[in-house]
């Protein structure tokens, strides 16, 4: 009996050791869930998470890890399946059968089906017609090009598109406009959209923060953090300070050169992920007001020293340029002709010759008809836009043009831009949201509601319409180059340069990486180290 008892004790001890080792192994490599909270600091681009509300809201929904799309962009710009696991397309690329991945659930435990995905996409188009929403999915995948959009009852979405139109459907459906939110269970799209992402919204405090919790039903692996606390930080130095004092574990886009340099220099405490962006920093020039005068626009652009603005004013956070598309994209920016040159005296001469002179002796020039020129320059404190606006205003002062900067938040600026309540409006846009700039170039298409600056050039309109149906890659590049050249020749856009994105994290966090297509900030790959 004693021998048997000793043997039992030995076996029990061995089992205990095995269990202990197994549990310890489970804690390594991110295999088990953590009860930690990830604290993330970022610019507040929208107080809504409703993808229909506005572009920034759609992006916030995907960036915060709440919602996902059927497809996803890789770092190199290629597109892969995400909520779908496969798709079939005919040779003409007009008929798509997209299969929903088995086992995907929303954060409330409901199943993702093809029918729900179709409803989610159709909601975007329905709301696009409602003036209280400003998201424009048709700029990415035109509704008039869709001939059929339905579920077939076998787990597939059937999508038929116009044969005449150039459409990269998987890339279009990877855009945040088409984030899949459950319309059957979502009660409050703005504050609690029910998505399939790694985190689910717990609460949203407008202008302040978003609290999220782990999606226990997440389909694509372990979600490392129990909670995600997003705090809005509009000032770049505030983000840097939060990272240093522990108020944030991760922050997006530190844009103050001195702060970023300091953080990069201390590799024992911080990680910095950088990506050459496909974003352009530029100002719309509203041609419904004083800037309808081409001579005035030309002089303003000539007064801008883009090299100094990009390399010194914003500390190298942008590379200078004049085309609306970054020169890292192969769409003819490097081939543009007659680019403006920085020439303050030349800008003054353009104004003098045009009769735009200081006629009342107050130090500022009047328009050709004698009316005062008082430009309203709207901006917000993100990606160095406010610094650009203030520096550009000072440059205009040197040639006798009065401009006043109005700094506001992203939502307000967007609404002011849509309403046309500005002369200059600073922006930082992704220029090729589907890998192709067709949607971005619609901003200057004279017949588009997305043309917020009232630019209208018959030649531009004609070539843009041709681009809609052009499927040959070389011919598309040629037409896109033409469109950029028209904008340069017409002095239609005040381009600053091309943005460089970053994500900074404490050393205790791993895999907080910025993507060239910066739709993705919070992922389940971000984990405790």
- Residues 131-153 have a mean pLDDT of 94
Q: Which phi and psi (to 5°) does residue 40 adopt?
A: -120, 130
pLDDT at 62: 98
DSSP annotation of 31 reads -
Taking only the tens place, the pLDDT of each residue in 282-297 is 999 999 999 999 999 9
Taking only the tens place, the pLDDT of each residue in 174-188 is 999 999 999 999 999
Please name which of 68, 123, 117, 108 lies closest in space to residue 201, comparing C-alpha atoms. Answer: 108
User: Worst-scoring range by mean pLDDT, 137-141, 240-244, 264-268?
Assistant: 137-141
Which token pair is 54?
């506005």
Please name which of 515, 499, 517 lies closest in space to residue 281, comparing C-alpha atoms. Answer: 499
pLDDT at 75: 82
pLDDT at 9: 41
Distances (CA, A) of 38 to 101, 305, 316, 524: 28, 41, 30, 11
Start-end of CATH 3.10.105.10 domains in the chain? 277-500
pLDDT at 30: 37
Contact 503, 526 (CB under 8 A): no
User: Worst-scoring range by mean pLDDT, 62-66, 136-140, 478-482?
Assistant: 136-140
User: What DSSP string describes 51-108?
Assistant: TTT-HHHHHHHHHTTS---SEEE-TTS-EEESSEEEEEE-TTS-EEEEEEPTT-B-TT
The CATH superfamily of 277-500 is Dipeptide-binding Protein; Domain 3 (3.10.105.10)
- Spatial distance between the Cα atoms of 276 and 263, rounded to a whole number of angstroms: 19
Q: In whole numbers, what is the pLDDT of the chain averaged over residues?
A: 92
pLDDT band with cut points at 50, 70 and 90 for residue 26: very low
Which token pair is 171?
């890339």
Taking only the tens place, the pLDDT of each residue in 410-451 is 889 999 999 999 999 999 998 998 889 998 999 999 999 889
pLDDT band with cut points at 50, 70 and 90 for residue 361: very high
- Spatial distance between the Cα atoms of 54 and 120, rounded to a whole number of angstroms: 16
Start-end of CATH 3.40.190.10 domains in the chain? 66-178
- Spatial distance between the Cα atoms of 109 and 193, rounded to a whole number of angstroms: 13
Please name which of 221, 210, 205, 208 lies closest in space to residue 68, comparing C-alpha atoms. Answer: 221
pLDDT band with cut points at 50, 70 and 90 for residue 389: very high
User: pTM, whole model, 2 decimals?
Assistant: 0.77
pLDDT band with cut points at 50, 70 and 90 for residue 299: very high
Give the distance, in angstroms, between the CA of residue 331 and the centroid of all CA atoms in the same chain: 20
Element at 25 (helix H, strand E) = helix 2-26
Name the CA radius of gyration of the chain, rounded: 26
pLDDT at 12 over 70: no
Distances (CA, A) of 523 to 32, 228, 247, 277: 16, 11, 20, 19
- Spatial distance between the Cα atoms of 495 and 267, rounded to a whole number of angstroms: 34
pLDDT at 470 over 60: yes
- Spatial distance between the Cα atoms of 174 and 519, rounded to a whole number of angstroms: 9
pLDDT at 111 over 50: yes
User: Which of 57-66, 273-282, 468-477 has the largest mean confidence?
Assistant: 57-66
- Residues 303-328 have a mean pLDDT of 93
pLDDT at 35: 83
pLDDT band with cut points at 50, 70 and 90 for residue 6: very low
The CATH superfamily of 66-178 is Periplasmic binding protein-like II (3.40.190.10)
pLDDT at 459: 98
- Residues 497-504 have a mean pLDDT of 94
pLDDT band with cut points at 50, 70 and 90 for residue 8: very low
Give ∠ CA 500-505-511 in degrees, rounded to 5: 85
pLDDT at 28: 34
């Amino acid at each position: 009996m004693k021998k048997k008892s000793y043997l039992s004790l030995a076996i029990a001890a061995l089992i205990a050791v095995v269990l202990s080792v197994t549990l310890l192994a489970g804690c390594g490599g991110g295999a088990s869930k953590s009860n930690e909270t990830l604290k993330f600091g970022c610019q507040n681009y929208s107080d809504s998470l409703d993808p229909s509300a506005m572009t920034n809201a759609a992006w916030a929904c995907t960036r915060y890890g709440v919602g996902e799309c059927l497809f996803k962009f890789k770092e190199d710009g290629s597109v892969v399946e995400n909520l779908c696991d496969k798709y079939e397309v005919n040779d003409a690329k007009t008929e798509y059968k997209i299969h929903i991945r088995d086992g995907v659930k929303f954060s409330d435990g409901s199943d993702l089906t093809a029918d729900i995905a179709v409803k989610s996409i159709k909601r975007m188009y329905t709301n696009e017609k409602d003036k209280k929403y400003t998201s424009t999915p048709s700029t990415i995948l035109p509704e008039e090009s869709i001939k059929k959009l339905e579920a077939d009852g076998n787990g597939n979405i059937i999508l038929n598109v116009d044969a005449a139109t150039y459409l990269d459907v998987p890339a279009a459906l990877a855009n945040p406009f088409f984030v899949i939110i459950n319309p059957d269970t979502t009660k409050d799209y703005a504050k609690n959209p029910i998505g399939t992402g790694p985190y689910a919204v717990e609460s949203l405090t407008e202008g302040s923060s978003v609290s999220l919790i782990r999606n226990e039903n997440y389909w694509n692996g372990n979600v490392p953090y129990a909670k995600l606390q997003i705090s809005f930080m509009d000032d770049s130095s505030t983000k840097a300070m939060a990272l240093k004092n522990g108020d944030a574990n991760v922050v997006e886009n530190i844009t103050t050169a001195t702060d970023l340099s300091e953080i990069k220099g201390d590799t024992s405490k911080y990680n910095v992920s950088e990506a050459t962006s496909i974003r352009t920093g530029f100002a719309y020039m509203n041609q419904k007001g004083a800037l309808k005068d081409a001579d005035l626009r030309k002089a303003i652009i000539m007064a801008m020293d883009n090299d100094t603005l990009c390399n010194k004013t914003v500390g190298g956070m942008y590379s200078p340029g004049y085309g609306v598309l970054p020169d890292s994209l192969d769409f003819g920016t490097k081939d543009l002709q007659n680019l403006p040159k920085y020439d303050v005296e030349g800008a003054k001469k353009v104004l003098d010759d045009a009769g735009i002179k200081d006629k009342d002796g107050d130090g500022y020039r009047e328009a050709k008809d004698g009316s005062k020129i008082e430009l309203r320059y709207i901006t917000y404190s993100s990606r160095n836009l406010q610094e650009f606006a203030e520096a550009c205003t000072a440059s205009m002062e040197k040639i006798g043009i009065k401009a006043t900067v109005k700094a506001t938040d992203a939502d307000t600026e967007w609404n002011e831009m849509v309403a046309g309540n500005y002369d200059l409006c600073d922006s930082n846009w992704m220029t090729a949201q589907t890998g192709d700039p067709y949607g971005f170039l619609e901003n200057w298409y004279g017949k588009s509601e997305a043309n917020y600056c009232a630019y209208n050039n018959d030649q531009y309109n004609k070539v843009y319409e041709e681009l809609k149906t052009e499927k040959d890659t070389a011919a598309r590049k040629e037409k896109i180059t033409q469109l950029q050249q028209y904008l340069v020749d017409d002095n239609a856009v005040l381009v600053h340069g091309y943005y460089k994105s970053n994500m900074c994290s404490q050393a205790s966090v791993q895999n907080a990486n910025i993507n060239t297509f910066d739709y993705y900030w919070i992922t389940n790959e971000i984990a405790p180290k």
